[in-house]
Amino acid sequence: MAGEPIDLHETDIDPEMVRRLLQHAPLSVSQTVIVARGPQVIAHRGALRQMEAADVAVYVTEYWRDKGQTLRLQFMRLPLAAAGHMILTYPLVGDYRLTLVDAEDAPLNALRRLGSQLLGVLRAAGLV
């Protein structure tokens, strides 16, 4: 019905559109960008393999508290990985999240700049 508020928890994001948007992300060789709905990866691009991206999405979901949280910084060691990873997560519409992953000793400012760029792109697409 016209004029009723949209329930953002029912919002569905087109995975193919998200994949196309992520293709333009200026990632370094150690970075990965993930768009997930809870533990389910919708799209990802970067250094991590699909299974590793899924591990990150599950890890982020376990600790995410969406009430007023605008971002979260975490550190994680993936199974069979020699080094740890820095994880920076932002909320999107509904239950979706944008997660950026880099080496644990990477500069946080570089990851935050990338996050700002990607949030701008996703905002223009109506996903933020």
Q: How do residues 37-74 score in pLDDT, each as one tens digit?
A: 999 999 999 999 999 999 999 999 988 776 777 889 99
Structural domains present in the chain: 12-123 (3.30.450.30)
Q: Which residues contact 46 (CB under 8 A, 6 or more apart)?
A: 25, 27, 31, 32, 33, 101
- What are the C-alpha distances in Å from 40 to residues 8, 69, 75, 124? 17, 20, 20, 23
Q: Is the pTM of this model over 0.85?
A: yes
Residue 128 near residue 117, CB atoms below 8 Å:
no
What pLDDT was estimated at residue 7? 43
Bridge partner list, 45: 33
